[in-house]
Chain A
C-alpha cells in the first residue's frame, strides 16, 4: 500500500528513468522534495540538472519550461499551490496552449504542469482553489486529475509521455490516501489517459465527478444504496478532453445525472456536462442534470470550508431532488 503522494513520486521516477529528456522543475522541488514531498528523493537520484529548484516565479517556471520543451526536453513543472498558478497564466494560456496552433503544428510543447489542487486541508487563502475551468476553457491544453494512488502512478507517466501540454491536478486532500499500486503492470495496460472510469455500478442515477469529490460521491452512493437506490459513480479523470461516450453510455442507462465538483458551479464542469447531456440525450432523461459544487464565492477561511465543500449530505440532497422528478 502506498499513498497518492508516493504513487506520484514513483510515477515521476519511472518517467524520468525511461526518458532522459524528462526534467522536473519548480519551487522547492529539489532538496526539500516539494512541500508535499511528491518529488522527494528525485534530485538526489537524478541530479540538480534534472530536478531543478527554480527561482520563486511561476511565470518563469512555465515560460522557461516552454523554452526547454522547444529545445527537446520534457519539463514537468510543479506549481506549489493552486492559487499560485495565476502569475503563470499568460505563459500557460497564450504561450503553452497556443504554440502548436500558432506554428501550424510545427512546434510541440510536451510540458506537464502539476498542481496540488482543491481544498479540504484547512489551509490559508490561495491554497485550496479549484481553478480547473480556466484551463478546461483553453483550447490546446489537456486537463486531467487523479483520485487514487493507482491513477496517480499511471496518469502522471501518461501525461509526461504525451506530446501536448497537460495540466495535471492532484487533489491535495487525497495525498495521504493509501491503496495497492501495481508497479509491474506495463503502462500500455493502463486505461487511456483521457478515459473516464465507472468506479461504482448503478442503475437509478449517475454521479459524475472527479478528483477530491470521488470519495464523498462514493459515500453518498453507499448511503443511497442502504435506502434502496442504485447509484452509479463515474470518475471523469480527464476534464479536457472529456470522455463523453462514457458519460453518455452511463446516463442513457440511468436516465439521471448529478455532477459533483469542488469548483464553483458557474461555468464549471457541471455546466459543460449538463449542456452536453442536454444536446445528446435530452429525450432519454427523466430529470434535469443537477449540480453540486462549490458556492460562487471565493474559497472561504478554513473554519468555514466544511460548510463550503460538497459532502455526502449535499450529494444525497441532489440525488433525492433528481429522483423526485
Chain B
C-alpha cells in the first residue's frame, strides 16, 4: 500500500495543510460591504454613491418584469415535467439581478447572456417560443441576436465573456456610443476564458460591463470551493471598476448597473458587477440539490426573495393599488397560457436545416450527403424505418 514512497506523503494525513484553505467567513461578514437599497423586509434606504430616482413607476415596472419572468419560469418547469421540454434551468430567485441590470442599460447596448438569463431575455422582447425552442430540442438557439441585441445562449461556460469583450472592442473602434453587458456565473468565473476576458477588457479599454450572478452554486459546487477571494476583489486586481451588490435587490442592481454603464460609456475602465443572489431551484430539471445542500440554506434565501421585497415596498408605500396587482396577475396568467400554447406549436426540426446552416455555402460533398439522407428518409413511405426502434 505504501506507493509514492519516493515522496512519502500519499496515504498519510497531510502535514498540517487542510484540503481547502479555511474560508469560514460568515455570510454576514461576506455581505458587510454589499450595496443594498431595498432590505428584505421592504424598507428603502438610499445610497448616495448610487443615485437612483426611486419612482413608483420604476418600482412597478421592475416588479412587473420580475413577476412575469417568474410565471414564465414556472410554466417552463411544468412543461419540462410533462415531457414537453427536454430540460429546463430555472432562474427562480435571480429575477432582480437580471431585470434590474438589463433595465438599466440602453436598448442599443448589446448583451451576451450565459444560459439562465430568461428574465433578461424576456425584458428584451424575446418571445416565450423563441426562448423555449432550445430547451424543447428543436434548435440550438431560438432568436435573432441582432434583432434583440441579445446574443444566443452560451452553454460552454465563460466563452461568451471573450466574445463580449471582442464585440466591445469593436464598439470602441467604431466610435459608437454603445456598451456591452456580459452575464456569467460564479462557476464560470473559474474558466480561463473569463479571466482572460477581464484582463483583455482592461488592456484594450473595451466598453463593457461584466455582470456575474453569484448564485452561490455551480451545480453542486459552492462558491467557497470555487474561489479563494470574492470575484469583485479579483476583478479589481485586473484593473476593472468593481461593484458588489445585493442581487436580490432590483433597485440596487438597477442603480449600480446604471452607474457602471454610464462610467463605461463615458470612457472609464470596464466594470464588473458581482451580484450576490441565490439559485433557489436545482441547477436544472435533471439535478437533485438535496444531495449537496441543506433545506435551511434554501429557506434562508427564500426569505430574501427579490419579488416579495418589491411587493412589500409597493404595498406599504401605496405605490400600487389592488387593481394593479390584479391586472398583473391576469397578465401573468395569460403569459403562461401563451407560453404553453407556443411551446406545443413549435415545429419539429428538419435535419436538412442543420446541413444548410453549417457553412455560408454548402460544399458539394456535404450537399450530396444531405441529398442522400433526404432520399433515404423519403424511402420510408410511412415515417421512420421499420426496425429503427429495435436498434436504439
Contacts and interface: CB of A to CB of B under 8 A. Distances in A.
Given A73-B4, A313-B386, A301 B226 contact: no
Interface string A10-36: 000000000111000001101111010
Contact of B156 (A53, A126, A295): A126
Contacts of A73: 4, 10
Interface in B149-201: 155-157, 187-188, 190-193
Contacts of A124: 86-87, 134-135, 137, 140, 155
Interface string B95-122: 0000000000000000000000000000
Contact of A216 (B86, B140, B286, B391): B391
Contacts of B10: 20-21, 72-73
A242 interface: no
Nearest to B372: A295
Given A72-B7, A308-B351, A303 B391 contact: no
Interface string B1-41: 11110110011001000011000000000000000000000
B190 A60 contact: yes
A300 interface: yes
A301 B349 contact: yes
Interface string A116-155: 0000101111110000000000000000000000000000
Task: Identify whether the interface residues of B are mostly helix, strand, loop, or mixed.
Answer: loop
Nearest to A264: B369
A120 B392 contact: yes
B204 interface: no
Nearest to B356: A297
A182 interface: no
A295 B373 contact: yes
A125 B377 contact: no
B187 A56 contact: yes
Contacts of A31: 220, 291-292
Interface string A278-316: 000000000000000001111011111011110111111
B4 A20 contact: yes
Contact of A87 (B86, B192, B291, B366): B192
Contact of B219 (A28, A49, A71): A28
B358 A297 contact: yes
B124 to A, nearest CB: 21
A311 B218 CA distance: 36
A232 to B, nearest CB: 17
A306 B351 CA distance: 10
B156 A83 contact: yes
B355 A56 contact: no
B388 A306 contact: yes
A240 B124 CA distance: 49
B192 A223 contact: no
Interface string A208-237: 000000011001100100000000000000
B138 A53 contact: no
A316 B387 contact: yes
A195 interface: no
Contacts of B382: none
A33 to B, nearest CB: 8
Contacts of B390: 219, 223, 312
B190 A21 contact: no
B194 to A, nearest CB: 9
Contact of B392 (A125, A311, A316, A317): A311
Given A21-B4, A304-B354, A220 B391 contact: yes
Given A32-B291, A56-B218, A303-B349, A297 B388 contact: no
Contacts of A57: 190-192
Contacts of A20: 1-4, 10-11
B136 A313 contact: no
Given A20-B10, A21-B3, A27-B221, A301 B137 contact: yes
Of B86, B134, B384, most A-chain CB atoms within 10 Å: B86
Contacts of A315: 391
Contact of A306 (B218, B384, B387): B384
B360 interface: no
B350 A304 contact: yes
B43 interface: no
B219 A32 contact: yes
B15 to A, nearest CB: 12
B227 A122 contact: no
Interface in B339-392: 348-351, 354-355, 358, 365-366, 369-370, 373, 376-377, 384-388, 390-392
B225 interface: yes
Contacts of A181: none
Contacts of A223: 387, 390
Given A303-B137, A312-B391, A295 B192 contact: no
B355 A295 contact: yes
B281 interface: no
A53 B391 contact: no
Nearest to A308: B351
Contacts of B219: 27-28, 32, 35
Given A216-B391, A220-B391, A312-B391, A302 B191 contact: no
B255 to A, nearest CB: 30
B388 A312 contact: yes
8 contacts: A21-B10, A30-B220, A53-B220, A56-B188, A124-B137, A296-B369, A312-B390, A312-B392
Given A72-B3, A295-B370, 8 more contacts: A20-B1, A56-B157, A56-B221, A83-B155, A120-B392, A311-B392, A313-B384, A313-B386
List of 8 A-B pairs having minimum Cβ-Cβ separation, nearest first: A312-B391, A302-B137, A313-B385, A32-B220, A216-B391, A55-B190, A219-B391, A56-B187
Interface of A: 19-21, 27-28, 30-33, 35, 48-49, 52-53, 55-57, 59-60, 71-73, 83-84, 86-87, 120, 122-127, 215-216, 219-220, 223, 295-298, 300-304, 306-309, 311-317
